[in-house]
Amino acid sequence: MANGVPPPGTADIFPEESRRWRKLESVAADVFARYGYGELRTPVFEYTEVFQRGLGGETEVVQKEMYTFEDRGGRSLTLRPEGTAGVMRALLNTDVLNGVEQRVYYCGPMFRGERPAAGRKRQFHQIGVENVGRVSPELDAECIAMLMHLLEEIGITGSVLKINSRGVMADREPAGELLRNYFAGHVADMCPDCKNRFERNLWRILDCKEAGCRQIVAGAPDYFSAYSAESQEYFNRVLASLDALGVKYQVDRQLVRGLDYYVHTVWEVTHDGLGGQNAIAGGGRYELFLPDQSKPVRGVGFAAGMERLMLVQDALKAAQVDPEEPPVFLVSLGTAARLENLKLAAKLRHSGRRVALEVEDKSMKAQMRSANRAGAVTVVIRGEDELARGVAVVKNMAGGEQQEIPLGELADKL
């Protein structure tokens, strides 16, 4: 174990940086609140079946990437690789299965055992939302518009929204048949992964990144036309609503998304500022099955990777933090003054001010240097003489001017 180095694919977030995280979370909370979403906090681990059943046993996440362990009673638990399944598990405690709408958002760490790279972590953080209980293309469009609204508020311009329809389960057979017939003639030229996908997970061939496979996919038949009229109509209504909302999109028939619960609308937002891992957010409509439930939970939602949002902000020089109020720095000359300043600091802090002070016997010069380093704009200086007279010297760091102020008036003058 190397000193001070966290496990691969994880990171420490120091105060300077965590202020950015807080800002991002608070802007998101504020935007989501305007659409009626409240925060739901669920555990970071769930029973493994929640993800196995919820995400589908064939998904790459479930097959290869989950952090699974046993609890003391021998039950299998898994660190959440994504937020949706756990949120659905929690919402079983509400009336969502009876069509009562719930609007929730969440943010926090997710865990996937992927190969770490820039923008790809093993512990990463998502901000996600779920609109659960009702089915309507207008809700899908509103959800997408809310994501684009969030990106706008956090200064991310130039992103691309790609959208597609996965149809419903009944559409997969006829549409899959079209694809299977076409791909069957090209299996020999596919990458090893896609040869495997041809047998087990046909649709994922569509979003393979290998050049050879992309060429094959480019000639694939238009499977959307094999969807039922209702499914086509649903998708067209999503697009019409997006048009009405002024949200720009690109229909991308190669977008299938990596999780099995999606039906109808799926989307992804990419940004060039990220390089390789270019998806900053993804989502869609889903029908998610939980253990011991015969009915799926129906909803629509998305999640954005917080690390990736911040990488894009960096690339755009659009990092956001709330300005911090500079501290008042208390300079003490002598032990008695230090004790009095300790009391003064407590009083000012209780009244809401930020205060810094030196706790050892240091020269005036050294304390002024500390004040500078702490970013203080105002310094309060007290020694034996000031204590005896019940005053304090208040110095403005910028202009250098100083003023003697009676102690009783100090709190108001700072």
Residues lying near ligand HAM in the complex (CB under 6 A) are found at: 82-84, 112, 114, 119-121, 124, 126, 128, 130, 258-259, 279-284, 286, 301-305, 307-308
Burial class (CB in 10 A: 0-12, 13-18, 19+), 21: middle
Of 11 and 377, which has the nearer Cβ to ligand HAM?
11
Whole-number Å distance between alpha carbons of 219 and 141: 29
Residue 117 CB, shortest distance to ligand HAM, in Å, is 9
Residue 189 CB, shortest distance to ligand HAM, in Å, is 28
- The CA distances from residue 44 to 263, 300, 305, 356, in Å, are 26, 21, 16, 36
Residue 9 CB, shortest distance to ligand HAM, in Å, is 8
Of 134 and 195, which has the nearer Cβ to ligand HAM?
134
Whole-number Å distance between alpha carbons of 115 and 295: 35
| Main-chain dihedrals φ then ψ at residue 337, nearest 5 degrees | -65, -35
Residue 143 CB, shortest distance to ligand HAM, in Å, is 9
Whole-number Å distance between alpha carbons of 86 and 15: 29
Whether 257 and 165 have beta carbons less than 8 Å apart is answered as: no
Residue type (1 letter), 387: L
Of 62 and 394, which has the nearer Cβ to ligand HAM?
62
In a 13 Å sphere around the CA of 251, the CA atoms on its Cβ side amount to 13
Of 115 and 200, which has the nearer Cβ to ligand HAM?
115
Whole-number Å distance between alpha carbons of 298 and 175: 22
Residue 80 CB, shortest distance to ligand HAM, in Å, is 9
Of 269 and 371, which has the nearer Cβ to ligand HAM?
269
Residue 365 CB, shortest distance to ligand HAM, in Å, is 47
Whole-number Å distance between alpha carbons of 362 and 339: 14
Q: Which of 300, 371, 232 is nearest to 96 (CA)?
A: 300
| Main-chain dihedrals φ then ψ at residue 159, nearest 5 degrees | -85, 160
Whole-number Å distance between alpha carbons of 51 and 81: 8
Of 100 and 117, which has the nearer Cβ to ligand HAM?
117
Residue 314 CB, shortest distance to ligand HAM, in Å, is 15
Contacts of 343-348 with C-beta under 8 Å, sequence gap 24+, read: 344/380, 344/410, 347/411, 348/411, 348/414
Residue type (1 letter), 143: C
Whether 380 and 394 have beta carbons less than 8 Å apart is answered as: yes
Of 130 and 358, which has the nearer Cβ to ligand HAM?
130
Of 150 and 355, which has the nearer Cβ to ligand HAM?
150
Q: What is the DSSP letter of 172?
A: H
Residue type (1 letter), 200: R
Residue 110 CB, shortest distance to ligand HAM, in Å, is 7
Residue with the closest Cβ to ligand HAM?
A: 305
Residue 118 CB, shortest distance to ligand HAM, in Å, is 10
| Main-chain dihedrals φ then ψ at residue 136, nearest 5 degrees | -165, 135
Of 137 and 284, which has the nearer Cβ to ligand HAM?
284
